[in-house]
Structures are given as structure tokens and as C-alpha cells.
Amino acid sequence: MPGVITNVVKVYTDGACSGNPGPGAIGVIVLDENNQELGACKECIGDTTNNRAEYRALIRGLELAAGVCRRKVICFSDNELIVKQLNRQYRIKNAELRKLCIEVQNTARLFDEVIYQYTPRTNRYLGKADKLAKEALTGT
């Protein structure tokens, strides 16, 4: 992705797991405020759980967003648990998820503002992130 070019980006993320736990993968789409794609990512992340994969996808999405924006990032996920944990509506009881949440928070410091928003899986961009994660998982 090119250097910082916009003040607002949207990050759509999804984690996938074959089994829970099992082999995992992530899919990420980064868009500008006009929904023009600025970047995308699909990669395998090894054995994990679904929630860990969701956190890993978000971390990767924030890293990608940092390449094009430092102002405002809106992160969209269909994982309500993760969104509520990041918005401090739910406590994080699992130690591994707590570490991943801290990693998200540390990465989020690169930006002036980060918003975490639950969005149904039917959203077209989340569908695309889901497809990327499944492609990475299946090697297609």
C-alpha cells in the first residue's frame, strides 16, 4: 500500500478456523471513505481458535491501515464478542484473548481515533473478508 493518503479508513476483518481450535486464517479489506479498496490481505495463521483468529485479523487490519492513514479508523467485525470486549462492554476472562486485546490497543495508538463496530456478516465487505480468510484456509 502507498504512504499516508487519507484521513479516514474502514477496515473489515474476519478470522476463520477449521475446527475450534484448528488451522486458522484471516481476511482483511481496507477501504477509504468512498469505499475504494486500498489494500487486502489473506493469510494462514496456524492452529488457533475462532476468537483468536478474529483478533489476529484485526491486528493485521490495523497494521495495513497504518500504511495509508493515521487519523481515524473504523473497524468492522461480525464477531460481537470481540467488538464488545474492545469497547469495554465485556470483560476479557481468557488470558490469551487479553494479550491479543492489548496488542490491538497498542497498534491502535498509531491513530488519532479507532472505532470498533459490530456489523452483520451479510455486509458485502465483511463477506469479502470472509471469502479471503476461507481462501487462505483452503489454499485457493
On the question of pLDDT at 109 being above 90, the answer is yes
pLDDT-based confidence at 15, cuts 50/70/90? very high
Residue 116, C-alpha cell as written in the block? 470498533
Residue 58 is classified by DSSP as H
Predicted structure pTM score: 0.94
Question: Please, are residues 45 and 108 in contact by the beta-carbon 8 Å criterion?
Answer: no
Residue 3 has pLDDT above 80, yes or no: no
- For residues 64 and 95, what is the distance between their CA atoms, to the nearest angstrom? 26
- Distance in angstroms (rounded) separating the CA atoms of residues 65 and 75: 10
Closest by CA to 132, choosing from 82, 60, 81, 84, is 60
Confidence of residue 2 (pLDDT cuts 50, 70, 90): low
Considering the chain, what is the average pLDDT of its residues?
95
pLDDT computed for residue 94 by the predictor: 95
Strand, coil or helix: what is 53?
helix
pLDDT band at 128 (very low <50, low <70, confident <90, very high): very high
Q: Say if residue 134's pLDDT is above 80.
A: yes
Domains and CATH numbers, the chain: 8-132 (3.30.420.10)
Distance CA 138, CA 7 (A): 35
Question: Does residue 69 register a pLDDT over 70?
Answer: yes
d(CA 134, CA 140): 8
Q: Annotate 82-114 with three-state secondary structure.
A: HHHHHCCCCCCCCHHHHHHHHHHHHHHCCCCEE
Give the separation between CA 65 and CA 84, rounded to whole angstroms. Answer: 21
The yes-or-no verdict on residue 5 having pLDDT over 90 is no
Joined grid coordinates for residue 47? 492452529
Q: How far is CA 100 from each of CA 56, 83, 107, 138, rounded to the nearest angstrom?
A: 7, 13, 11, 25
**Model confidence pLDDT, tens digit, residues 40-62:** 999 999 999 999 999 999 999 99
